[in-house]
Chain A
Amino acid sequence: MAVVITSIKVRSPLGCTLEECMKNIELGKRCISTIENFNTAGFQTTAAGEIRCNGKVVITEPNIDRKNFFLDQITTELRNSTSFDKKYNPSEIAMNIGSGLDYVDIENLYKNREFTYPKTAHLPSHYKSNKQITEIAAKNNIKGGCNVFVAACAASTQAIGLSYKMVNRGIKEAVITGGADSMVNQINYLGFYNLGAMATAKEGEAPYICKPFDKNRSGTILGEGAIVMLLENSKKVKQEKIIAQIAGYASTMDAYAVTDPDPSAKSLARAISNALKSASITPEMIDCVHLHGTGTYKNAPAEYKALAQIFKERVKELPVYSLKGQIGHMIGSCGAMEMLGVIYSIQNQVVLPTINFSEQDPHAPLYVIKEKPLSIPINYILKLNSSFGGENTALIIKKYE
């Protein structure tokens, strides 16, 4: 028995279908540009990866919480296309989703001095994430528990991790998992800017480029996106439906500082080690690593040190990749969205170039692919994510055979 991904629905800067996303990943398309969904007058930075369909940014009204608006759409799409609630007893299906900060519609906040909008709305907690996601689960006949994960950048991979365990241990027949987040709104965007992690631009440079692993990286850029995937027991699905296998998972905590990763990277290394044990494989069996790769100064050396502790000398020739240069940092949904890059690698047996990477950082001498894809046999991929707050996750994804 294996835990397998059998269907994916998505809204991202790459596109609104899996096919559109995969095509744009292959093209290395940069999906970050000047924000269109809200007025950025007076903002010092104005770039983000906004959700697009057929290349056009999807615009919504200010009273819409985008993360849950798109999550609602894709969960319904997933149900309609897979009939998961007819295939399984609804009480045997759970929903585990990574999410982020509450959305604040500032006009309503100012005029009504409360989150709820409007006061008489049917939904009593219009902008409250857990309430909304629980309602989306109920609407789609998911009755085996609805769980929202909020460990910032590790939220959606913690959600996938628990989902993997639930199916693997036979606790649930199927789990809808993934993440939905959007910090691309006035208050949350400014809040993130104030934390000092946003990319800056040097004179003469194209504005606000997220450069994972690059020597001259200056920070990250926010993105937004929603993605759900259906996890099932391989013995209960048609083999041709299987997209990939989740083979292992582990989470650890830095317990070091609120804002910075532990520079020793020992806890991140332990997450990798525990995930390898969970998948019953050795480090030599990992073919490439899809890193968190935020483009921030402190992230890359920590990821390098963690890999060096596990892979030793092989770290110099182990290909790594980050999708964030293309789509930005989706915080509560980043790990789940980056599974698209993992699946692309497995399906096409390539490690793609990390866009915007040009010069290796001597403090993080990772083997980052440049210019053209590297074709290699890929059976196992290690996927890492780490959060603001110190949570680390490691997933092992396997080509299903």
Chain B
Amino acid sequence: MRIIYKKYLPKEDIPVYDFVRKRKLVKYYTRETMAAVVCTGLLLKGQEVSEETPFFFSNSESEMMDYYRDACIAFDQKRIPFTTHDFIKIAVPSISPLSHFKMMRNMAHCFISIEYGLKGDNAALLGSASGLLYSALLADTDKEVYIGAGKLHVNGTAEAGFGILLPYELKNHRMLDSNSEAINFFRQFHNFK
């Protein structure tokens, strides 16, 4: 089992361009996705990747308000009393179309799969370590599986982890029934510098 974990502070640069071939897609990335792509790149460096390798990824709860901040600012500038109708009319169009992709929970899973051509057994999850680890334990293979997780904090701090393991290595793991966030698994068990 090889596990990597990275944490990037709010203003810290995430060197995502060092690890992507499909650079046009980076505009759709959140900082959580960027961190996950870096972790994946570091761990898969020099490794032969089979498209059949199962890949499971778990996001964390949304804490960032960036998607909607522009909408609120746009409405503030009109200096009129709030109504739902006016907010929709005035403010919502100011939300960048890119934000719609950033709000979708399976995007980190999707972008990493596209980057590495991963087409095997898979799942995109939210939150719990339990779901991520059971998905890997019960994957349709006895060969390697990939797992990953990310978290974007309200202040912009981004965390991510990525792991390469064999399903049996998770048997009886103490986090199998844990409802704690999947990123905790990577915080605790990372062993790759």
Contact = CB atoms under 8 A, between A and B. Distances in A.
Interface of A: 38-39, 41-43, 62, 91, 94, 96, 99-102, 104, 106-107, 109-111, 113-115, 125, 128-131, 134, 137, 143-152, 155, 158, 161-162, 165-166, 169, 171, 186-187, 190-191, 194-195, 250-258, 267, 270, 274, 278, 387-391
B119 A253 contact: yes
B28 A258 contact: yes
Contacts of B82: 107, 110-111
A271 B50 CA distance: 17
A384 to B, nearest CB: 15
B156 to A, nearest CB: 15
Contacts of A150: 59, 105-106, 124-126
A103 to B, nearest CB: 11
Interface-centre pick from B110, B122, B179 (highest chain A CB count, 10 A): B110
A251 B121 contact: yes
Interface string B172-184: 0000111100000
A148 B127 contact: yes
B166 interface: no
Contacts of B119: 252-255, 267, 270
Interface in B74-104: 75, 82, 84-85, 87-89, 91-92, 95, 97, 100-101, 103-104
A255 to B, nearest CB: 4
Contacts of A166: 134, 138
23 contacts: A39-B85, A42-B85, A94-B130, A94-B177, A102-B103, A109-B68, A110-B75, A129-B61, A134-B128, A145-B128, A147-B134, A149-B126, A151-B106, A151-B122, A194-B100, A252-B121, A255-B116, A255-B117, A255-B119, A258-B111, A258-B114, A389-B109, A391-B122
Contacts of B25: 258
Contacts of B116: 255
B128 A162 contact: no
A225 B137 CA distance: 30
A260 B96 CA distance: 20
A146 B128 CA distance: 7
Q: Which 8 A-B pairs have the closest CB atoms?
A: A147-B131, A130-B127, A145-B130, A150-B105, A389-B110, A151-B124, A165-B138, A148-B126
Contacts of A256: 114
B157 interface: no
A153 B82 CA distance: 34
B44 interface: no
A391 B106 CA distance: 9
B140 interface: yes
Nearest to B135: A162
Contacts of A38: 84
B140 A255 contact: no
Contacts of B130: 94, 145-147
Given A100-B105, A110-B82, A145-B178, 19 more contacts: A39-B85, A42-B88, A96-B131, A107-B84, A110-B75, A143-B177, A145-B177, A148-B128, A149-B124, A151-B109, A151-B122, A186-B92, A190-B88, A251-B121, A254-B119, A258-B28, A258-B110, A391-B109, A391-B110
